[in-house]
Amino acid sequence: AAATNTVVVTINYRVGALGFLVVDDPSCTPNVGLLDQVAALEWVRDNISAFGGDPDNVTIFGESAGGGSVLSLLAMPAAVGTFQRAIVQSGATDLLLDRERAVLVTEAVARCAGLDRVDVDALRSMSGPDLIAAQAQAAGELFMTVGTMPFHPCVDGVVLPQTWLEAAESGFNPVPVIIGTTRDEMDLFKMFDPAAATLDDAGLRARLGATGKNVDALIDAYVATGTTAPPDVWARVNTDTAMWLHALAIAEARSAHAPTWMYRFDWEASSPEMGAPHGVDIPFPFTTIDVDGWDTFIEDPEQAMSLASVIQRSWADFANDGIPTLGDTEWPAFDRETRSTAIFGRNITVESDPNGQVRQAWNT
């Protein structure tokens, strides 16, 4: 804040069952965790001038679930006008729930709470610790039906009336946006799929075949980028399908309606097998690489501080006037023709359509 002449506000909001249970009852409001965030933005609008801030010049930003929250706020009617710009760090995923899956989550929580049906009054009367215990048990049961992280916002038709991509495609709330991912997002989660470490070509082809895409075209595209070993190809596939392709689709859609910038974060973790994983970018906008243990997670932390300073300035310039800067490097806005993407690594570069052959293989 002091270095960039900005006022930084962090917030809390309800998560898990307390924030994202969906119940088919008119007395129950869905997605209250998102409405908590809107309430915080309304507080900023009404009070930030007392702290030296400008209520008409608010930028929201978040990473991972925080990035997903930013995308949800971009799609929410209740949030329109509470912010003027947005930054999405590693938040574009396919984890939004439809109503059918959200109902499965609520039914599982009720069952794990000892109820034979979804009883609103009974759920409301539960103690906090009991509800959290039911939530934890339900998360285990929902692993195969809803996914590893079942307590997510739901496209409920009211609070969140459309998906992130649908909102982007329709031009809803067309504020300027920066959006991006780390290069190796899903490498942080390799331990959940130990069999991938010994994949051979046949195993890789079997997994790729399940996607319904042209397997040969996909493998050729990854090989063209220098990724050849089956375990490495699969790691890239995980990152691309879980994060990058979703971020790219949103950038494509939003760029038709509002200024949009895209980036890829390449600075690596200290553990070689992780590459540039999910979360490695968190301390860079804050230039806090040297605190809270980040210096043991990030490769070459002293050199990383120079990149952190550039990113902090870029985010702050975007917050101040809507144009992100990269020092002496020009960062053009993203469009479908050039697909300009800033690469944050040992050197800061801007590439046109990075990994374009991979993109094309997935989109055909």
In the sheet that holds 340-344, the strands lie side by side as: 59-63, 85-89, 177-182, 260-265, 340-344, 348-352
Buried b (16+ CB within 10 A) or exposed e, 332-350: ebbeeeebbbbbbeeebeb
List, in order, residues 6 or more apart from 228 with CB less than 8 Å away: 222
User: Three-state SS string across 265-278, please?
Assistant: ECCCECCHHHCCCC
Per the residue annotation, which of 246, 252, 268, 278 is the catalytic one? 278
Tell me the HSE value of 175 on the side-chain side, using a 13 A CA sphere: 29
Per the residue annotation, which of 42, 64, 257, 351 is the catalytic one? 64
Is 309 catalytic? The answer is no
Distance of alpha carbon 77 from its chain centroid, rounded?
A: 20
Distance of alpha carbon 236 from its chain centroid, rounded?
A: 17
Phi-psi region of 173 (alpha: psi -120 to 50; beta: other; left: phi over 0): left
Is 278 catalytic? The answer is yes
Q: Identify which of 20, 29, 112 has the alpha carbon closest to the alpha carbon of residue 65.
A: 20
What is the four-CA torsion angle of 159, 161, 166, 170, rounded to 10 degrees? -100
Residue 261 phi/psi, 5° resolution? -125, 145
Instruction: Report CA torsion sign: 165, 66, 185, 4.
Output: positive
Per the residue annotation, which of 69, 72, 152, 185 is the catalytic one? 185
Is 337 catalytic? The answer is no
List, in order, residues 6 or more apart from 251 with CB less than 8 Å away: 177, 179, 260, 262, 334
In whole angstroms, give the CA distance from residue 55 to residue 43.
Answer: 10
Residue 221 phi/psi, 5° resolution? -65, -45
- Active site amino acids: 64, 185, 278
